[in-house]
Amino acid sequence: MKQPQQKLPHLKILQESADWLVVDKPVGLSVHNEKVNVLTLLTQIKRNPNLSFHAVHRLDAETSGVLLVAKDAEIAAKLSEDMQKDSRKLYQAVLRGEMKEDEVSWDWKLSDKAEGRKNPQGLLKDRKNCETLVRVIEKTKYFTLAECEILTGRQHQIRKHSALAKHAIVGDKRYNDPKYNERIASIYGAERMFLHASELRMRIGGRETVFTAPPPAEFKALMRGK
């Protein structure tokens, strides 16, 4: 019996050059770990045997938004080096509860590993300096929509810092309370993790380049209680 064909996720290409492309990665799609991922989808879309896609930076499967992908390993290494030297990454997140400050810097030391809800910082010996700038866009009694800028690049940095600030990201299954996530999902039908990579700014070939992707409509819908 013929198996039904799997429906592949839609992958929107925001911008493209001869050497790289930028996609608006949908939530739930892995960059490279799963059988169906960003890189395998691009291979199917482009159908060019001369291209070998490589992600230039990390983006969790649970996070949507801007992702820069190189068209070969050498270009990926160069772009990664450029990104380390001079780049700006902005995210939007819906956080649990109402933040009192309109702007704050979170600077808890963190490991560069995936951790858990009980100890987001990781082992003391693994912790390194890091900083996240947080600017409130909108807030209600129950949620805060914030723009987060990472000044360092630790794994799960925004997710860990928001949990340590007692404002964990809504829908974060690793660092937020599972009972809270279940309650929010049952009330609002909101089952994703509300973290979105909204802007990447960096120099490519000596030229300032900005890539943007607005957060999905469900972010505003949750803030409106819909």
Looking at the 3D structure of the chain, how many domains does it have?
2
Confirm whether 146 is domain-assigned.
Answer: yes
Query: Do 69 and 41 meet the contact criterion of CB atoms below 8 Å apart?
Result: no
Output the furthest CA–CA distance in the chain (Å, rounded). 60
Q: What is the CATH number of the domain that holds 126?
A: 3.30.2350.10
The closest alpha carbon to 94, from 200, 193, 224, 216, belongs to: 193
Residue 141's contacts (CB-CB under 8 Å, 6 or more residues apart) are 98
User: Are residues 191 and 139 part of one domain?
Assistant: yes
CA distances from 86 to 73, 112, 156, 170, 203 (A): 20, 20, 20, 30, 7
Q: For residues 193 and 9, what is the distance between their CA atoms, to the nearest angstrom?
A: 17
78 and 105 fall within a common domain: no
Q: How confident is the model at residue 225 (pLDDT cuts 50, 70, 90)?
A: confident
- Residue 178 and residue 99 in one domain: yes
Answer yes or no: 172 catalytic: no
- pLDDT over 50 at 1, yes or no: no
Q: Looking at the structure, do residues 96 and 193 belong to the same domain, yes or no?
A: yes
Structural domain harbouring 37: 8-85
Question: pTM for this structure?
Answer: 0.92
Could you tell me the two tokens for 97? 């509860």
pLDDT recorded at residue 175: 98
Are residues 102 and 179 located together in one domain of the fold? Answer: yes
Catalytic residue among 24, 60, 107, 112: 60
Summarised one tens digit per residue, pLDDT across range 72-97 is 999 999 999 999 999 999 999 999 99
Residue 7 has pLDDT above 90, yes or no: no
Banded model confidence at residue 118, pLDDT cuts 50, 70, 90? very high
Q: Which two tokens stand for residue 131?
A: 């900083």
pLDDT for 94:
98
Domain match, 173 and 94 both: yes
Q: Which residues contact 124 (CB under 8 A, 6 or more apart)?
A: none
* Mean pLDDT score, 108-119: 96
Confidence of residue 50 (pLDDT cuts 50, 70, 90): confident
